[in-house]
Structure 1
Amino acid sequence: MKADKWKLTGVTTAGKGLLDRDVEFPKGPEDTISALRWSPAANHLAAASWDGRVYIYDATNSTSTDSIKGVAAIAIGAPVLDCDFSKDGTLALGAGADKKIHIMDLASATTTTLEGHDAPVRSARFVEVPSTNAPIVASGSWDKTVRYWDQRQQRPVGTLTVPERVYAMDADGPLLAIATADNHMQLVDLRANPLEVWRSLESPLKYQTTSASVCPGGTRWAIGGIDGRAAAQVSDEKDKSLDNLQFKCHRKPSPTKSNQTDVYHVNAVCFSPAHEDVLATAGGDGTFNVWDVRTRCRLRSFPPAGGPVTAIAFSRDGMSLAYAVGYDWAKGYLHNKEGGVRKIVVRVFGEGLK
């Protein structure tokens, strides 16, 4: 069966999920939210914003807006394009358009700045490199490099040169997946050699990649693109237990032109840390969906959120999904209207997803 002809079964909408609820976060970011990441060790959420900060929230008690607390902010002073937590949740980072990575120790509120890139840092992740005994950060930049950092040192401990600018990147377990501007994917096996591309392949999407995600354990990766499509692929081409697939997701009939479909950017894709088969996609159409990529079914479909959904992130137990609403720059800066909708919301799944 072709992926474009998936039969969407088991679909529920926002109003039908048993005990599902949305809770809006306190007012925080003053510009577009470019990335959301939950801590692997606590119910803390990081939000990277174009206003030059990474906001850290404690959502342990997320029953209401007042119960969610802001606990820290990393002030960078330039647009922040990505964020992440260390595996133990004690460190948070922001990847900046200032060409730097900023890392905060959340206990002491002290910040370390890592410099070495020659262009904005598009993405950064804490990664597991077995040959080291310290937390390592991998940063992907528009300078066509991925650099590895031990934060105890001011210079990178290793550099991987890739063919083009890094447009999206994610990691889990042994896999680092890098989407580059030449419409290729560069896969790195962190256990074997972090400084060498393990597999280089043409992107399954025809147009520009906007986002990437790696499933728990690194057996599969997914990407979203500007043409309203997403794709999920196996990491090891010898693995016959999983299928490669691509599908249309953020498209809808034009309200003004008959027989025409409006296509929206897939602004974010995100695997659930609790379910290697569960993938969420978010789009410029203001909606987000949750998919089962093994059975090729859409598990949940939600109504428009009031503006483009720019970022999404599953909580560590997979029972909550945070999403950010704001301007996604798809139409350029002239359409970025002052006073537009800008918010972070967490949806708690009362009946689970699987």
Structure 2
Amino acid sequence: MEIAPKKISDIFNIQEVGDRNYWFVRTSSGKFYQDFVLHDYIAIGWDFISISDFNSTKINTVKAMIKQNLALDPDNENVTDTKKKKGEITGIYNKIKRFIKEFTLNDVVVIPDVNSENYSIGIITSDVFEDSSYIKKYLDNDPDTEMNLCPYAKRRSVKWLKTISKRNADIYLLKALGSQHAVSDVKEYAPYINRNLYDIYSSEGKLHAIIRAGTDEKSISFSELKQLVDLIENELKRADANCNLDDLTMKLNIHSAGIIELIAGAGGLSLVLGTAMFSLNHLINGGKTSMDFKLDENGLPHFSVSSESPGLRGRELEKIKLEYEHQEKILKLSSSLNLQIPQVQLTDEIENPVKEDIE
């Protein structure tokens, strides 16, 4: 079957990341991390100011309330210096303002556990609300719980998408999150958050594909890195022999477990990159669908889809004469580097095409 799509989303199910905010919310040194994750929410303190009070009261009045109740700061900071106290009051006001006014639906939120050994990343799914009876209701249902239940009233519901450990996280992401305050705007670190959240995604007209290689016990050698780059280039050329690789950007984060991020602009190169990742993933992990890509005389992309693609992992390697040497090289490098290729899936229209009636 041959298809002539207009854009990459016509072929692949790829996460499209729009314009959104990114927030970091602390969990009282990890005390409430488990409660947040297991019960799908985040919360902040300073309960002496309700949502209604904050929305209907002048700024100076709110700050006066904070000044009077500074001892109720959830971080229990004992501020005595007048200048520092004024700065602390403004800081608390800004944290509350962000949580109530600036957090919005579909924003990304990141929270750390004890000692920041793990980070959970999720999407905000509700407007701000208050629940001052949460602990009572919980204990009525589970009086023997040993969980540290969060008493803070101001809350937002969250759909948690992924938890990453410090040992496996992007080192640049760890540096970015390590010095954040209780409630922080971390949108400038969105590229690092997104590449830890997704293996492949589209943002601002560009396709990002993330390949992970190496382990904590084994670093990537120069020779292996060269082989990997050659492999990627070869798969791109197999997808489209005429593609211009000068328009492809590569970002490397090569530590023990490294990250290779490939970024392609809108148009044909994104389709080429998506096709290359799809093919490479299926060569390594196995699958039931294979694809060929080409441009017609008008520069429009066309895909040829066939039904079987023998996998190489988890089953005996089939000795296909024309492909054996190439596939064996891929499998060997994949095993050596513990390659993790983006899981690219076809859209339903491509996976299960509707057959036209034949009159």
TM-score by length of structure 2 reads: 0.25
Bigger share in helix: 2
Which fold has the larger relative contact order, with Cα–Cα distance below 8 Å and residues 6 or more apart in sequence? Answer: 2
Bigger share in strand: 1
